[in-house]
Amino acid sequence: MQKDPGFAMLEKGGLKLLLNAPGAGGAGQAMPDGRLPQPGGWNRLIIEVEDLDKLVADLKAGGARFRNEIVEGVGGRQILVEDPSGNAIELLEPKRE
C-alpha cells in the first residue's frame, strides 16, 4: 500500500513494515523541540491501538514519558512514548476507511 509519496506499507504474512519519509507528515514530523527524524535514533516498534486518546490518558496518569503530543498522519493518529530504557514506541490508531 502506498498512501502518498512519503508513506508506504509492505506486508508479508503477519509482518508489516511501515515506511515514512522524514518531513512527510505523521511519524516524519518534527518533534516539538524542532528535532527531525534521523538515522540511529528514530527506529521504533509500532503498536496498533483502538482508542489512542484513552490509552494516552491512562499512560500519562501512570507517569509514562512521551516525546510529543498526538499527531495526525496519512496512516492515522500516533504518538511516541518511551519505554523504561528510553526507546521510542509508537502508539498508532490507524485510519479506518
Contact (CB, 8 A) for 5 and 77: no
Q: What is the pLDDT of residue 91?
A: 96
Q: What is the pLDDT of residue 2?
A: 56
Contact (CB, 8 A) for 50 and 93: yes
Q: What is the pLDDT of residue 11?
A: 87
CATH pick for 2-94 out of 3.30.70.580, 3.20.20.70, 3.40.50.620, 3.30.720.110: 3.30.720.110
Mean pLDDT of the chain: 83
Q: Tens digits of per-residue pLDDT, 8-17?
A: 788 888 888 8
Q: Tens digits of per-residue pLDDT, 17-64?
A: 877 766 666 666 778 888 776 654 667 888 999 999 999 999 999 999
The model carries a pTM of 0.65
Q: Give domain limits for the chain.
A: 2-94
First-last CA distance in the chain: 14
